[in-house]
Amino acid sequence: MTAPTTPSTSQAPTWSNWAGQQHCTPSVLARPYSERELTEVIARAGDAGHTVRPVGSGHSFTDTCVTDGVQVDLRHLAQLIDADPSSGLVRVQAGMPLHRLCDALHEHGLALENQGDIDRQTIAGALATGTHGTGARFRNLSAGVVGCRIALADGTVRELTADSGLSGELLRAARVSLGALGVITELTLQTVPAFRLRKVEEPRPLDDLIDGFHELAAAHDHYEFYAFPYAKTALSFASDRTDDPPAPLPRWRKWVVDDLIANRGLAAFSQAGRVAPRRAPQISRAMTRLLSRDVRTDHSHRVFASERRVRFTEMEYAIPRAQVGAALREVLALIEDQRIGVTFPIEVRATAADDAPLSTASGRDTAYIAVHQFVPMPYEAYFRAVEAIMDRHDGRPHWGKRHFQTAATLAPRYPEWDAFQAARRELDPHGLFTNDYVRRVLGPPPAERA
Ligand SMILES: Cc1cc2nc3c(=O)[nH]c(=O)nc-3n(C[C@H](O)[C@H](O)[C@H](O)COP(=O)(O)OP(=O)(O)OC[C@H]3O[C@@H](n4cnc5c(N)ncnc54)[C@H](O)[C@@H]3O)c2cc1C
């Protein structure tokens, strides 16, 4: 471990998230260099009457990281500890960003089975909110967790393994925890042999993609599409595992597709939408005219993740997969009927059911519908109206993306809600790791309720 050159706790500067819309000034910022130092920070916080909030790379849109207590940042606990290519089991420190983890795995001939759109999150931060990619047969990231070490409110560190007793139950809860059980310091992950993906990106009629979503999701390893409000053309992305050699886009083409269109073009259209929100239909349709067919083959982590430079805010709902077409059509009709000033596309994905109590795919095959809004523009009325649609489809909000739910509205949507609350009672009964967000979405700490 690198020797510390700066004190690991300090007066905290103002913190803000990636989107720049959540801010806080913690009493103390702790960046421990060891698990032991972390447990001392936690013990001191408890003695001083502060709460403790772990933070990753701040890519959540909700106030999940906001605290006036002690903010714990694990940037100095961010190494790959061990990787066994024969079993695929790897041990990683919790603060490691996904892009570094994926590069390190690749050197060992390994990869994550599935990934989301970006790779800037820390592994623990991504897991804590149930981060997912797409793939009807693949589960979200948290399903790969087979063990972890977690620093608890009582100053101890507990090792959780996937056995059939209490430890296994606590591990299931810790896989998607919102940081509400303790600070995870290390994770054991089941990875897969490194693989390549061939990705075909192409404009197609929106109605074909809505009507054919289930067939497309079944036919491809990783399928998703972007629906552009007010437009009849959508952008389809189909990625499949292949033994073909890497064939990335030529540099000039990559610049056009990934930089010029996906970032600079999106920024320009978003600015136009901001200046003239009533022109959103024309702007959105103009955007679809720039879409083109592109095919690339590369190592999986280079295909899954892309760069997102345009700042936006987002709401995403997980719904029973069979309802995706109906729900999406309702969202598109809402936008058109109310002529909402939005030009950002709506993202549609799918994952398989899993068994983490707070996973948004817990116990059911899932489709995801994500709506976005350019950062300077008003989002709340739009997101609330979309949320009302998702409520009718038994929707579960992404824990890291904006929503307006409370513990009372969420509890009936999670069959294993009580299993998570039991883990909370066991590991953090007095709510040392509870902030306002956790209180809103999971309820007060168990001891307070008792
Ligand atoms: C541009 C962009 C693209 C995105 N794409 C996707 C996507 O494709 N799919 C998807 O599902 N999500 C996506 N997200 C959402 C993102 O993956 C999640 O919000 C994720 O939780 C962010 O990880 P982070 O490291 O930034 O964690 P933060 O946002 O900093 O923290 C998230 C949560 O993790 C907890 N936490 C952090 N570290 C620890 C720890 N050591 N122990 C316990 N708890 C901890 C925090 O307390 C907090 O509750 C995207 C976000 C952005 C901004």
Residue 265 lies in a domain: yes
> CATH number, domain at 331?
3.40.462.10
Determine the residue of 35, 72, 131 to mutate for testing ligand 1's pocket, defined as the one with the most ligand atoms within 8 A of the Cβ atom. 131
Mean of all residue pLDDT scores within the chain = 95
Nearest atom in ligand 1 to the alpha carbon of residue 398 is: 11
Q: Is the CB of 423 under 6 A from ligand 1?
A: no
* Alpha-carbon dihedral 363, 159, 118, 440, rounded to 10 degrees: 60
DSSP labels, 142-160: GGGEEEEEEE-TTS-EEEE
pLDDT score at 376 = 87
Q: Give the range among 208-217, 219-228, 274-283, 378-387 with minimum mean pLDDT.
A: 274-283
How close is the Cα of 123 to the center of ligand 1, in Å? Answer: 8
- Tell me the CA–centroid distance for residue 38 and ligand 1, in Å: 21
Residue spans of beta strands (DSSP E) within 14-95: 15-16, 23-24, 28-30, 52-55, 70-73, 80-84, 89-93
Task: Find out whether the beta carbon of 64 lies less than 6 Å from any atom of ligand 1.
Answer: yes
Choose among 123, 177, 186: nearest CA to 150: 186
Nearest atom of ligand 1 to the alpha carbon of 308 = 1
Residue 7 has pLDDT above 70, yes or no: no
CB 362, CB 424: distance < 8 Å = no
Other residues' Cβ atoms within 10 Å of the Cβ of residue 72:
27
Please work out whether the CB of residue 315 comes within 6 Å of at least one atom of ligand 1: no
Q: Quick check: CB of 56 below 6 Å from ligand 1?
A: yes
Q: Which domain holds residue 384?
A: 196-404
212 C-alpha to ligand 1 centroid (Å): 31
**Domain count of the fold of the chain:** 1
Residue 58 lies in a domain: no
Domain assignment present for residue 321? The answer is: yes
Q: Is residue 46 domain-resident?
A: no
pLDDT band at 389 (very low <50, low <70, confident <90, very high): very high
Residue 267 has pLDDT above 60, yes or no: yes
Output the CA 305–ligand 1 centroid distance in Å. 15
* Domain contains 413: no
Task: Please indicate whether residue 54, judged by its CB atom, sits closer than 6 Å to ligand 1.
Answer: yes
The predicted model scores a pTM of 0.96
Tell which one of 17, 23, 117, 121 to mutate to probe ligand 1, the residue whose CB is within 8 A of the most ligand atoms: 121
For residue 401, the CA-to-ligand 1 centroid distance in Å is 9
Q: Give residue 178's region: left, alpha or beta (phi > 0; psi -120 to 50).
A: left
Does the pLDDT of residue 255 top 80, yes or no? Answer: no
- Domain for residue 318, yes or no? yes
User: CA 106 to CA 100: how far, in whole Å?
Assistant: 10
Q: What is the pLDDT of residue 5?
A: 46
C-beta of residue 120 within 8 angstroms of C-beta of residue 99: yes
- Is residue 273, in this structure, part of any structural domain at all? yes
Give the pLDDT confidence of 147-200 residue by residue, as tens digits: 999 999 999 999 999 988 999 999 999 999 999 999 999 999 999 999 999 999
Q: Is residue 91 part of a domain?
A: no
Q: How far is the CA of 61 from the centre of ligand 1 (A)?
A: 9
